[in-house]
C-alpha cells in the first residue's frame, strides 16, 4: 500500500434517499449500505475511498460533495454521461423497522466493472489495505461484472490486501433466484478474510439454524474471522482462537434501524484496523450501531455523530 493510498476501499452503490418523517413529508439524503459503512469508517478516523459509478446530474454531484465532506476519497467514483443514480424510499413503522422501495434498474453503479475505465478502479482496489463489499454489491452486477470483481479480489489478496464481506442478503435484489445468489456468494466466500453476516440473512438464504451453524458453514470456506450479527441478541465472534458471544451492553429503543448493520461493520473494522482485539471491536460495533438506530435515515447528522 502506498503512503497516500486509502486503508479501505468500499465498493457498491450510493443512491438518493427519500425518508418519510413523522409529519408525512419526505426528506432528501443519500445512502447505500457500503457507502454508509464508508461514512462511519471515515468518521472513526479510517482513511477510506468509495468505488462506484454515478451519472452527470445534480444528484450525482451531491453524492460526490457528500463523500468529500465526509473525508471519503472520490477518485474511484466514475461518472457516466446522461445517467442518473438510483433512488430509494424508506417507510418506517412505529417500532423503527423500515420498508424500502427502490428505483435503481438503470443506475450506472450496476456497470462499474464494465465501463471503459473499470481497470482504473481495479488498480486502485489493489493499493488498499482492505477491500469492503456486501451482498448488495454483488447483487447489482451481471455475471461479467461479478467475474471481473471477484478476479480483482483474488489478485488483491495475492498481493496482501485483506477482504471484508457483509453478506447483506436481499432476496428482491436477486429476483428470487436463490440458487444464483448462493453460487455467487459461494465464489465470494472463497476470497474473504473477514465475514460480517447477519443471522437473519443467513437463516433465510442458507437455512442456518443458529449463529454457530452459520460460523461452521463459513469456516468451511476457510474464512478465518467471522462476526455474526444478530439484531438485539449477542453477536458471535470467531477470530484468532477467540470464540465468544458478545452482548449489547446498553439497550436502546430504535427510532430507525436503517444502517444498523452498516454502522456495526464500520465500528468493528475501524477498531480492528486500529489494532483492537476482536471482542473489544464487537463492543465498539454495538455502541456505534446503537447510536445510529436512534436517528432517522442512514447517516446521522455530523453534529450528532459519535466516534
Q: Which domains are delineated in the chain?
A: 8-13+33-83+113-304 (3.40.1190.20)
Active-site annotation holds for 262: yes
Over the stretch 66-83, which tens digit does the pLDDT of each residue have?
A: 999 999 999 999 999 999
Cβ contact 190:221 at 8 Å: yes
Q: Which of 50, 68, 36, 62 has its CA nearest to residue 7?
A: 50
305 burial via Cβ count (<10 Å: 0-12, 13-18, 19+): middle
Q: Show the low-confidence residues of the chain (pLDDT under 50).
A: 1-2
Q: Which of 124, 91, 147 has its CA nearest to residue 10?
A: 124
> pLDDT value at position 94?
75
Beta bridge partners of 11: 51
Over the stretch 195-234, which tens digit does the pLDDT of each residue have?
A: 999 999 999 999 999 999 999 999 999 999 999 999 999 9
- The total number of residues written for the chain in this structure: 307
The pTM for the full model equals: 0.94
Integer Cα distance of 137 and 13 in angstroms: 7
Cβ contact 157:149 at 8 Å: no
> pLDDT value at position 1?
45
Sort strands 98-103 and 130-134 into parallel, antiparallel or unpaired: unpaired
Report helix, strand and coil shares of the chain as percent, to nearest 5.
Answer: 40, 20, 40
Cβ contact 147:114 at 8 Å: no
Amino acid at each position: 500500500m502506498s503512503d497516500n493510498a486509502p486503508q479501505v476501499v468500499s465498493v457498491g452503490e450510493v443512491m438518493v434517499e427519500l425518508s418519510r418523517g413523522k409529519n408525512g413529508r419526505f426528506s432528501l439524503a443519500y445512502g447505500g449500505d457500503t457507502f454508509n459503512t464508508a461514512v462511519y469508517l471515515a468518521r472513526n478516523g479510517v482513511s477510506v475511498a468509495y468505488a462506484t459509478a454515478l451519472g452527470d446530474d445534480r444528484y450525482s454531484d451531491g453524492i460526490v460533495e457528500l463523500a468529500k465532506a465526509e473525508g471519503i476519497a472520490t477518485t474511484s467514483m466514475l461518472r457516466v454521461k446522461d445517467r442518473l443514480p438510483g433512488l430509494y424510499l424508506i417507510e418506517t413503522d412505529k417500532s423503527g423497522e423500515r420498508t424500502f422501495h427502490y428505483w435503481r434498474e438503470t443506475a450506472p453503479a450496476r456497470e462499474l466493472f464494465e465501463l471503459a475505465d473499470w481497470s482504473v478502479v481495479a488498480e486502485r482496489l489493489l493499493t488498499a489495505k482492505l477491500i469492503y463489499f456486501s451482498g448488495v454489491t454483488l447483487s447489482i452486477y451481471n455475471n461479467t461484472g461479478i467475474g471481473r470483481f471477484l478476479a480483482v479480489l483474488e489478485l488483491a489478496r495475492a498481493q496482501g490486501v485483506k477482504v471484508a464481506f457483509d453478506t447483506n442478503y436481499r432476496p428482491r435484489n436477486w429476483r428470487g433466484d436463490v440458487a444464483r445468489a448462493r453460487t455467487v456468494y459461494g465464489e465470494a466466500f472463497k476470497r474473504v478474510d473477514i465475514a460480517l453476516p447477519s443471522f437473519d440473512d443467513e437463516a433465510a438464504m442458507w437455512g442456518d439454524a443458529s449463529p454457530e451453524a452459520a460460523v461452521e458453514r463459513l469456516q468451511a470456506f476457510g474464512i478465518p474471522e467471522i462476526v455474526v450479527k444478530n439484531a438485539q441478541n449477542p453477536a458471535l465472534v470467531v477470530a484468532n482462537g477467540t470464540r465468544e458471544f458478545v452482548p449489547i451492553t446498553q439497550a436502546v429503543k430504535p427510532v430507525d434501524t436503517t444502517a444498523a448493520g452498516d454502522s456495526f461493520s464500520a465500528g468493528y473494522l475501524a477498531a480492528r484496523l486500529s489494532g483492537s482485539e476482536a471482542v473489544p471491536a464487537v463492543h465498539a460495533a454495538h455502541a456505534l450501531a446503537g447510536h445510529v438506530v436512534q436517528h432517522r435515515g442512514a447517516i446521522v447528522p455530523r453534529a450528532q455523530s459519535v466516534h
